[in-house]
Amino acid sequence: MRVFLTGATGFIGSAIVPELIKAGHQVLGLTRSDAGAQSLIAAGAEAHRGSLEDLDSLRRGAAKSDGVIHCVFDHSAFGSDFSRFVEVCEKDRPAIEALGDALTGSDRPLLITSGTGLGNAVPGQPATEDHFDPHHRHPRRVSEIAGASVAEHGVNVSVVRLPQVHDTVKQGLVTQAVRVAREKGASAYVGEGLNRWPAAHVLDVAHLYRLALEKHEAGSRYNAVAEEGVSMREIAQIIGRRLKVPVVSLSQQEAQTHFGWLAMFVDVDMPASSAQTRQRLGWRPTGPGIIADLEQMEWLT
C-alpha cells in the first residue's frame, strides 16, 4: 500500500515509518519543514509538505494514497500553557474531516488516533475497546466523534487508542512528572499512589498501527496497551531513585501546587485492557515495560 502518514516525523510516527517500509509499504510522510523532509527521505519515505492546519495539504496527501494513518498531534500543549490542550484537541476535527473528504466512497482505510481513557466504562475497571462515551471529559473524544462523522459518509474509519507510549527518551506524561520532580526537588504521588496508568513501548505501538491498517476493519477500535496499569507510586519511586530526590505522598490540594497542569492526571486511575485488540490483530507486544525504560533513561539523572 501507499500510506499517507501524518505525524511522520514525530515520536510515534518516526517509528511507524520503518515498520511500514519493512513490511513492503510505501510511505508518504507529512512534514512542515526541510529538516523533516530530509529525515523522511533518509528513512526511505517520500515527503509531503503540509501541516495539520493546512487542510488542502491533508486532502492532497490522502487522495494519492491507498490508506491513511493519522497520528499527528500538536504536543506544544504539554508545555507550560496546558490551557491550550482543549484547543489542540479541537484541531483534530477539521483534519479528520479533510482526510475523510479525500477517502469518501472508497474502501481505503483511515486510521485515526485517540486515548485509552475514552474506553473506560466503570471507574477502577480497565478501559475496553468496545466502549466509547461521546460525553467523556477527555478532550480527545473530539477525534473519535469526528471519525464517526466521516464514517457515516462512507469512509472506512478505525481507531488506535494510545496509553503512555515510551522508550528510553520519552515516556508520555511520565516525562512531565520527571520534569516536575527535577524542578521541585521531590518525586511525588497523590495519596497512596495506587492509581494506574497503562503503557506500551513505541515499537510495539508502531507494529499495532501497521496491523490495524492492514486489517482495515471499519468501525474497529484498538487499545495499544502492553501494560494494563503501572501504579503512580511505582513510577514516582523510580523517578526519585534515579534523580536522587525524596519520594513523597501529597494530598490532592498539595498536588495542585506541586504538579501544576499535570495535577489533573496524576491521581486518575486509568487502567486499560488490550484483550480484544490482541485477539483481533494477533498483536503481541514484546518491548520493555515503562519502569525498565525509566531505569535506562540516560537523561534521568
In this structure, what are the phi and psi dihedrals at residue 199, rounded to the nearest 5 degrees?
-155, 160
Q: Which pLDDT does position 297 carry in this prediction?
A: 86
CA nearest to 281, candidates 215, 206, 199, 230: 215
Q: Which pLDDT does position 138 carry in this prediction?
A: 76
DSSP state at residue 134:
T
Q: Which pLDDT does position 122 carry in this prediction?
A: 87
Return the SS3 of 188: strand
In this structure, what are the phi and psi dihedrals at residue 122, rounded to the nearest 5 degrees?
-125, 120
Please state, in angstroms and rounded to a whole number, the distance separating the CA atoms of residues 200 and 11. Answer: 13
**Domain-wise residue ranges, the chain:** 2-166+199-227, 173-197+229-296
Please state, in angstroms and rounded to a whole number, the distance separating the CA atoms of residues 276 and 217. Answer: 14
Give me the average pLDDT of each 10-residue run along the chain (301 residues).
97 97 98 96 97 96 97 66 71 95 94 94 92 82 94 96 96 93 97 97 98 96 98 97 96 95 91 98 97 86 61
Please state, in angstroms and rounded to a whole number, the distance separating the CA atoms of residues 197 and 171. Answer: 11
- Other Cβ atoms within 10 Å of 145 Cβ, number: 16
In the CATH scheme, what architecture does the domain 2-166+199-227 have?
3-Layer(aba) Sandwich (3.40)
In the CATH scheme, what architecture does the domain 173-197+229-296 have?
Alpha-Beta Complex (3.90)
Q: Which pLDDT does position 134 carry in this prediction?
A: 82
Q: Which pLDDT does position 76 carry in this prediction?
A: 56
This prediction's pTM: 0.95
